[in-house]
Structures are given as C-alpha cells and as structure tokens.
Structure 1
Amino acid sequence: MSKKMKIALALGGIALFGTLLTACGSSGENNAAPGGSAPASGPAASVSAPPSAAAASVRKITDYIGHEAEIPVSPERVIFVGETFSDLLALDVKAVGTSLSMASETVYEDRMDGIEDIGFPINLEKVISLAPDLIIIADTDEKVYEQLGKVAPTIVFDTFAPLEERLPLLGDILGKKEQAAAWLEEYDKQEERMWKQLEAAGLQPGETASVFTYYPGERLFVMARTGLSQVLYVPEGLKPTARIQQVLDAGSGFEQISPELLPEYAGDRIFILNPASELQDAIQSTADLLQSRIWQDLPAVKAGHVYRLDIKQSGSDALSRQWLTEQLPKLMAE
C-alpha cells in the first residue's frame, strides 16, 4: 500500500476524505490529497471503441497514467476503490465490492447494503472470491495494480478530475453514458439554484473562499483540487485566494501549511472540515486552532463567515456534491 494512498484515505473517504487508516501517521506527498488517492496530474483516460461494438465483448482502454487494458463492453461485476464511490451510485451501478470503511459517515452510507467489503488494505483473496470482471482503483501503487491486474482487468482512475469530466468517462467505461449525461444535466440545475440562493443571501461576486482540515500529527491542510473545493471553485461561485490558486496551478489536490501561514491562505469565507470521528488528535488540533489568536484575528472569523462541515460529507463524489447543493445555502445562512 503506497504512502500516498494511506494519507488520502485516512483523510477522506469520501471525499475529500473519509478516514480509514486512523493509525496511519506517515506524511504524504503533495500529489496525493487528503481528499483523494490519485495524483492530481496526468493525461485523461481514453477509451477505444472496437470496430463492431455490438458484436465485441471487450474493448481497449488506456487509463490516465498509461496502463492499457481490455475491459468488458458492459461490465457486470465491478469492484471500485476510491473516495468518489458514489459516482457509481449516481449511475445506478451496483458494485460487487469496495473498501466499506470509506463509506462510513458519508451521505451515502445507507446505500451500501449488499456490497461486499474487500477491506483496507485490500484483501486479495476477497477480491478473487468476488470474481470481478472489472476493477477500478484510485491507488497509483504499481504493486497494487499488478496484483489486482492478475485477477481482472484493472483501471487506475483519476478521482481528482472535475465531476463534469469524471462522470462521463466513468459512464463510458461502465456502459452508462446516457445516465451520466442525464445526471449531470440535473445536477447543473441544482448547482445553479444553489448559487442563486447564496447570491440572494448576500454572497458578493468575486468573494474568495478557503477550505482547511487537520490530519493526525497536527498537520493542517488547505484544500485545492479535492472535495468541497470542487464545489466552491466554479465560474459562478467562490474564488480561490492567490495562494490557493498557486496550489491549483501546480496541479495539487492539497497543501500542508503551518498555522502561521493562515492569513496568506484565508479567504473571505472559510470552511473548516471536521476530522472523522475516530481521529481524536486531529479533532483536538482543530479545537486548539479555533482558540488561537492567529485564527481569531482572521477577517473572515471576525465577520462571522466561518462554516463547519464533517469531512466525510464534503467530498467531490456525485452524491455528496448533490447533498452539498442543498446544505450550503442552509449552512451559510446561519
């Protein structure tokens, strides 16, 4: 299991972050986000349709880090391991297996019945017993990829990709292109309604926002390309601060910062992601930060523009995004 995957899953299982490895204390690298487990950069996956898609049972695909695999045209027994698992639920795809720990405390936790737990780290024997015909993972560890690739065609999927890019590609891979298009069309309407509500409630054009969360070991992260940030940083929405824009320009999902740098990253609106319930030291670090002088002196704090969300409910997966369009207007109206 790669160090990148451990940090990513520990900080988020959903989205940004669901915390699976409470004992994982290793520091992460800057291209594996607390809200995701795949690197932030890399070419998009490509799918090549066979000459006769109706007659063929498989087709070739090159995933976003360059692996080529032959996958079923209509996969029926899918294993998906990544913090954007609910993308499958949005497409009405019932996976046969996943790492169920990643779904705990999420907005879609109650929709996981009947899906087998393959553990975390992944239990290879359990994977074999489920006889998958396609495995989709966010982990970029080549050893993990090679092991799983011996069981079934395996794809490394960029879960950091924007929803509007990620869902159509996933729909193509899973034979659900029409469902993906229809879901995104409805989501766009919901998102548009949300921003109109927020504008009516006083949100001004050009306002900036920051998203922060703590990870065990007193490590403070600012989110850029993962989770809630994907919801906020859209053309009609809130803007990243200049320092966060630098993180985005570097292609990173997040950046670890010291509390002393908060004034440089803090926007007009600040979102604090509450750590997963099992991460007591991260919870304490958050409490300590909120009592600190440097925090209380931030303009957003003085203006009362600070909002708290549970990290496992603030991801960039499809169902969390949908839930957030309803919750953000309520949260920001308080």
Structure 2
Amino acid sequence: MLIPYGTYNDDIRADIRAFGELLDKQAEAEAWIKQFDEKAASAREKIKTAVKDGETVGIYELRSQEFYVLGDNWGRGGQVIYNALKLTPPPAVKEVVDANTPPKLISQEVLPQFAADHMFVTTYETKQEDKDKFFGNAVYKNLPAVKNNHIYEMTFEQMYYYDPLAIEGQLDLVVEQLLAHQAK
C-alpha cells in the first residue's frame, strides 16, 4: 500500500492513528499519543520561564542564499513548536502556519516582518561564505531575537524528519535550547 507524503501530516497524532489502524495496533498507537501528550505538557511547564506570555516563536531555514519561513507541517520542529508546545508564531508567520503551505521564501529586507521573539534556524546546503553574509547582515543583526540571544541554531539533520521518534527527540532539543539560552 502506498501512502502519499502529507496524507496525515496535520498532526503527528493522525499519522500514529493511521498506522495503528493499518497495522492493527490501535492500542499501541493510543498509548504512544498519551505518552507524548504527557511529555509535551511537562515540556510546556518547563519552558514557561523561557518563553514569556505574548512572546512569539518562528522556524526559519537558510538554503544556499535563500531564507525561508516554515509552518508546522514541514519538519524542522514545526510539530513540536506549534502543536506540542503550543507556541505562538508572529502574525506574518501565522499566515504560513495556517495556510499549511510549503516553506515561504522571503527576502532579507522583509525579515523583520516575519521575525519572532525566539527564532529556530536551520541551514541546508549553504556555504560558509553565504552563512557569514546572511548572518552578518545588519538587518539580521538588528533583529530583537539576535540582540536578546534568542536565536537557536539547530542542525538540519536533527530537525528535518517528521516521524514519532524524530518528533520526540526534537521536543527534547527544543526544550534544551530554550532553557539553555534562558540561562545566559
């Protein structure tokens, strides 16, 4: 049986339930969901001091010389950040999240409109000189998240995947990053 990518990816729970049904493992699927929801609730409590009420969180990616904004269903921790932790994107990013569209390419000039108080950033197939140019640019350096040490550089390999094990690991990574930056 072929299941096209994205069939169930509104939420990891839908994936788990679908595979539980296909494999006649509904009880195991529901047990995983319960365990994950409990872990997410605990994580939300842990980060309350790191992400204050009213603060926004966004997911971004530098690919070569292009910068993208990502929603909740395109990997890079979207399921964790927006669904499990229930963190709020800034208004311009919320449009991307709500539209469930592929990553949105933005120019560096409009980055302040999409910037969040906390920014999770991955890089993919990007030369060091392109990273230096982008992250050294005055527009980027003047973002409040940069000035407040709320940029969380995540590895592409850790944040790309969208499966139960990856999402559990991403939950741990996101919480670790938020708490570590809070301590600085």
Taking structure 1 as the reference length, what is the TM-score of the superposition?
0.49
Alignment of 1:141-220 (within 5 A): 157-158=6-7, 160-199=9-48, 201-216=49-64, 218-220=65-67
Structure 2 match to 1:136:
3
Is 254-263 or 173-182 further displaced after alignment?
A: 173-182
Structure 2 match to 1:321:
167
Instruction: Give the distance between the partners of 1:269 and 1:288, measured in 2 at CA.
Output: 21
| CA positional deviation for 1:208 | 0.6
Q: Secondary structure at 2:53's aligned position in 1?
A: coil
Structure 2 match to 1:87:
none
Instruction: Give the distance between the partners of 2:155 and 2:85, measured in 1 at CA.
Output: 24
Instruction: Give the distance between the partners of 1:164 and 1:259, measured in 2 at CA.
Output: 35
Q: Secondary structure at 2:83's aligned position in 1?
A: coil
Alignment of 1:35-54 (within 5 A): none
Question: Are residues 214 and 160 of structure 1, via their aligned partners in 2, closer, same or farther at CA, if it must alter by over 3 Å?
Answer: farther
Q: Secondary structure at 1:233's aligned position in 2?
A: helix
- Counterpart amino acid of 1:206? G
Residue 293 (structure 1) aligned to one of 138, 144, 161:
138
- Counterpart amino acid of 2:13? E
Contact between 2:20 and 2:28, CA under 8 Å: does it hold in 1? yes
Question: Are residues 220 and 192 of structure 1, via their aligned partners in 2, closer, same or farther at CA, if it must alter by over 3 Å?
Answer: same
Contact between 1:213 and 1:274, CA under 8 Å: does it hold in 2? yes
RMSD across aligned C-alpha pairs, in angstroms? 2.0
| CA positional deviation for 1:253 | 3.3
Taking structure 2 as the reference length, what is the TM-score of the superposition?
0.86
- Whether 1:222 and 2:76 are equivalent positions in the alignment is no
Question: Are residues 284 and 211 of structure 1, via their aligned partners in 2, closer, same or farther at CA, if it must alter by over 3 Å?
Answer: farther
Unaligned runs of 5+ in 2: none
- Counterpart amino acid of 2:141? Q
- Which aligned segments of 4 or more residues in structure 1 are displaced greater than 6 angstroms? none
Question: Are residues 229 and 223 of structure 1, via their aligned partners in 2, closer, same or farther at CA, if it must alter by over 3 Å?
Answer: same
Instruction: Give the distance between the partners of 1:236 and 1:323, measured in 2 at CA.
Output: 13
Alignment of 1:1-334 (within 5 A): 134-138=1-5, 157-158=6-7, 160-199=9-48, 201-216=49-64, 218-225=65-72, 226-227=74-75, 228-234=77-83, 237-275=86-124, 279-281=125-127, 284-314=129-159, 315-334=161-180
Q: Which has the higher helix share?
A: 2
Is 222-231 or 289-298 further displaced after alignment?
A: 222-231
Instruction: Give the distance between the partners of 1:170 and 1:183, measured in 2 at CA.
Output: 12
Instruction: Give the distance between the partners of 1:287 and 1:272, measured in 2 at CA.
Output: 14
Contact between 2:43 and 2:85, CA under 8 Å: does it hold in 1? no
Bigger Rg, structure 1 or 2: 1
Instruction: Give the distance between the partners of 2:47 and 2:26, measured in 1 at CA.
Output: 32
Unaligned runs of 5+ in 1: 1-133, 139-156
Deviations 1:9-32 (A, max 9, x none): xxxxxxxxxxxxxxxxxxxxxxxx
Contact between 1:233 and 1:239, CA under 8 Å: does it hold in 2? yes
Q: Secondary structure at 1:274's aligned position in 2?
A: strand
Question: Are residues 179 and 285 of structure 1, via their aligned partners in 2, closer, same or farther at CA, if it must alter by over 3 Å?
Answer: farther
Contact between 1:214 and 1:285, CA under 8 Å: does it hold in 2? no
Instruction: Give the distance between the partners of 2:25 and 2:63, measured in 1 at CA.
Output: 36
Identity %: 22
